[in-house]
C-alpha cells in the first residue's frame, strides 16, 4: 500500500483536473504532483462524453466566470492543440431561430456576444442560412465562426504526458479512489484505495462526485450535485451530408442547457442531441441505470424537489423524448423539417453534473471554494472543457494567494 508525500495532490483526471496539474507543474516545475483517478483511464465521464465542442463564449452573461474563462480558455486550447498536434477544427456554428417568437432571444444572445467580444459574429437571413446549411429551415440565425470541435480525451492524455515529462516525480495513479480525507498540522492526508497520500495542498476536480469529496473534507455546502443524463443519436452515413457545421437552436433562457442540436464530430459523423433528463445514477449511461445511493441522495435533497415542481412540464417532455425516437426526431424537425427517423440511429450518452441550490435553482456559473487550505471545484458545467486551461489559471492563482 502507498504511503507517500507529494507537494500537490490533484483529485480527478478529467480535463479540468489535468489542466490544473499541468498549469501547476509549469508554475512549480520542481514540485511533485500526483493525480488521482478512480477509473482505469482518464476522461471517462464528462470529459469523454460531451459533444467535443469548443465554445465561443457567445451565450454567457458578460462579466461572469463562464464568459471570461470561455474566451481565454478557447484561445489557449487552440494554441495548445496546434502546438501538440491534437486534432481540431474551427468549423463554425449556426444558432437558428426557427420561428418569429425566437428572434428576440436570438438578438439577446447576439448582444451578449458583442459585449463578450465574440469575434466575427453576424446575423444571417434565411437565404444566407441556406447557403451554409441547405437542409436547415430558419427565419434568422447567428453565424459564430470561432466555434469548433476537438478531441478532449486526446487533450487529456497529452496533459498527463506533459506533466510527467516536466517532473519525473509527478505521476498519474489510476484505479485510485478517495475514501476519506483528514488533516494533520499543515498537511492533508488523502486516504485512498491504494494507500495514504499526503500533501500541503489538495485540489479536487471531481465533477459528478465534487460535493461528496467536499463533504469528506468537512466543507459545508449550499448546493448539491444532481445528475442529468443526455442521450445522443447520430445521423446515418446516408444522412450525414445534411449538416456542414454545428447547428444549434435558440435555447430556452430559463435553463442552462443549449437544446437538442447537430454536432459534427472530430472523428467523423454528426451527433444529434442531447436531451436532459434526471438520472437515477450519477455515472449511469443507460436509460435504465440505477444507483440506490445516488437516487436517495438526490431525492432527499429539498432543492431537487423544488426544481422538479418549478419545471415539471419541461421534465415530463424531456422524459418522453428520452424513450421515444419519434419525439426526439420531432425536436430536430424544428431545425430540419426533412429529417426522418430513418436518418438517425442511437448513439452514446453522457451525464452532466449540475449543482442545485436549496431553493431548487440550477447554479449557472463556475463555483470554486477553498477550505482547510484545499481547493474544491464544485461546479464546472459547460463550457468547462473549452475553458479548462483558463480555469486552471484561476486555481493556480488561488494557490498563490494563500
Mean pLDDT of 369-398: 95
Q: Do 215 and 284 fall into the same domain?
A: no
pLDDT of residue 256: 60
Number of folded domains in the chain? 2
pLDDT of residue 364: 87
- Per residue in 259-289, pLDDT (tens digit) is 889 999 999 999 999 988 999 999 999 999 9
Q: Do 199 and 325 fall into the same domain?
A: no
pLDDT of residue 257: 67
What contacts 24+ positions apart, CB below 8 Å, involve 252-259? 252/314, 253/105, 253/108, 254/311, 255/311, 255/314, 255/362, 256/354, 256/362, 256/364, 256/381, 256/382, 257/228, 258/59, 258/382
pLDDT of residue 255: 67
- Specify if 236 maps to a domain: yes
Instruction: List strands edge to edge, sheet with 201-204.
Output: 171-173, 33-36, 8-11, 201-204, 374-379, 367-371
Q: Which of 62-71, 251-260, 384-393 has the lowest mean pLDDT?
A: 251-260
More confident residue, 251 or 87: 87
Angle formed at CA 209 by CA 207 and CA 212, multiple of 5 degrees:
135
Q: Do 167 and 40 fall into the same domain?
A: yes
Pairwise CA distance, residues 382 & 51, whole Å? 10
Mean pLDDT of 165-176: 98
Q: Is the pLDDT at 9 greater than 70, yes or no?
A: yes
Q: Do 159 and 38 fall into the same domain?
A: yes
Closest CA to 177 of 36, 42, 41: 36
- Specify if 115 maps to a domain: no
Closest CA to 18 of 205, 208, 213, 283: 205
Pairwise CA distance, residues 23 & 276, whole Å? 33
Q: Do 17 and 37 fall into the same domain?
A: yes
Q: Is the pLDDT at 385 greater than 90, yes or no?
A: yes
pLDDT of residue 402: 54
Closest CA to 84 of 10, 148, 161, 12: 161
pLDDT of residue 254: 72
Pairwise CA distance, residues 150 & 165, whole Å? 23
pLDDT of residue 392: 98
Q: Do 208 and 160 fall into the same domain?
A: yes
Task: Give, to the nearest 10 degrees, the angle between helix 15-27 and helix 388-400.
Answer: 50
Q: Do 329 and 239 fall into the same domain?
A: yes
- Specify if 79 maps to a domain: no
- Per residue in 196-243, pLDDT (tens digit) is 999 999 999 999 999 999 999 999 999 999 999 999 999 999 999 999
Which element (helix H / strand E) includes 399? helix 388-400
Which element (helix H / strand E) includes 141? strand 140-144
Task: Quote the pTM value.
Answer: 0.95
- Specify if 125 maps to a domain: no
- Per residue in 173-205, pLDDT (tens digit) is 999 999 999 988 889 999 999 999 999 999 999
pLDDT of residue 318: 86
Q: Which domain holds residue 232?
A: 225-244+260-357
Q: Do 231 and 336 fall into the same domain?
A: yes
- In 176-291, which residue ranges form alpha helices assigned H by DSSP? 210-216
- Per residue in 355-378, pLDDT (tens digit) is 999 999 999 889 999 998 899 999
Pairwise CA distance, residues 223 & 337, whole Å? 40
**Residue where the block lists cell 443549449:** 258
Mean pLDDT of 87-113: 96
pLDDT of residue 313: 85
Domain of 392, CATH number, reads 3.50.50.60
Provide the percentage of residues in the chain whose pLDDT is more than 90.
88
Q: Do 335 and 285 fall into the same domain?
A: yes
Q: Which of 80-89, 173-182, 309-318 has the lowest mean pLDDT?
A: 309-318
Amino acid at each position: 500500500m502507498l504511503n507517500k508525500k507529494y507537494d500537490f495532490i490533484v483529485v480527478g483526471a478529467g480535463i479540468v483536473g489535468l489542466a490544473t496539474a499541468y498549469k501547476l507543474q509549469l508554475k512549480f516545475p520542481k514540485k511533485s504532483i500526483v493525480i488521482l483517478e478512480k477509473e482505469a483511464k482518464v476522461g471517462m465521464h464528462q470529459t469523454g462524453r460531451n459533444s467535443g465542442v469548443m465554445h465561443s463564449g457567445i451565450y454567457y452573461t458578460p462579466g461572469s466566470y463562464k464568459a471570461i474563462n470561455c474566451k481565454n480558455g478557447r484561445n489557449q486550447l487552440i494554441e495548445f492543440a496546434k502546438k501538440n498536434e491534437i486534432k481540431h477544427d474551427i468549423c463554425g456554428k449556426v444558432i437558428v431561430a426557427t420561428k418569429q417568437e425566437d428572434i428576440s432571444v436570438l438578438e439577446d444572445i447576439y448582444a451578449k456576444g458583442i459585449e463578450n467580444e465574440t469575434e466575427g459574429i453576424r446575423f444571417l437571413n434565411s437565404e444566407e442560412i441556406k447557403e451554409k446549411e441547405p437542409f436547415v429551415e430558419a427565419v434568422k440565425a447567428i453565424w459564430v465562426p470561432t466555434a469548433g470541435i476537438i478531441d478532449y480525451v486526446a487533450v487529456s492524455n497529452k496533459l498527463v504526458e506533459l506533466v510527467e515529462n516536466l517532473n519525473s516525480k509527478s505521476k498519474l495513479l489510476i484505479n485510485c479512489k478517495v475514501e476519506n480525507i483528514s488533516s494533520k498540522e499543515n498537511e492533508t492526508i488523502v486516504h485512498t484505495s491504494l494507500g495514504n497520500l499526503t500533501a500541503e495542498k489538495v485540489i479536487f476536480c471531481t465533477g459528478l462526485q465534487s460535493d461528496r469529496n467536499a463533504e469528506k473534507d468537512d466543507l459545508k455546502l449550499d448546493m448539491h450535485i444532481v445528475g442529468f443524463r443526455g442521450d445522443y443519436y447520430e445521423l446515418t452515413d446516408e444522412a450525414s451530408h445534411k449538416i456542414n457545421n454545428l447547428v444549434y437552436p435558440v435555447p430556452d433562457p430559463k435553463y442552462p442547457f443549449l437544446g437538442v442540436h447537430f454536432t459534427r464530430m472530430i472523428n467523423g459523423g454528426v451527433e444529434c442531441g442531447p436531451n436532459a433528463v434526471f438520472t437515477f445514477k450519477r455515472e449511469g449511461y443507460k436509460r435504465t441505470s440505477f444507483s440506490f445511493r445516488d437516487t436517495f441522495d438526490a431525492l432527499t435533497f429539498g432543492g431537487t424537489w423544488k426544481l422538479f415542481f418549478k419545471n415539471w412540464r419541461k421534465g415530463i417532455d424531456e422524459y418522453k423524448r428520452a424513450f421515444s425516437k419519434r419525439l426526439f426526431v420531432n425536436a430536430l424537425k424544428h431545425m430540419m423539417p426533412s429529417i426522418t427517423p430513418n436518418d438517425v440511429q442511437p448513439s452514446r450518452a453522457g451525464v452532466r453534473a449540475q449543482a442545485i441550490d436549496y431553493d431548487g435553482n440550477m447554479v449557472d456559473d463556475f463555483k470554486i471554494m477553498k477550505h482547510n487550505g484545499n481547493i474544491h471545484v464544485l461546479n464546472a458545467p459547460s463550457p468547462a472543457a473549452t475553458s479548462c486551461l483558463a480555469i486552471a489559471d484561476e486555481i493556480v492563482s488561488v494557490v498563490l494567494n494563500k
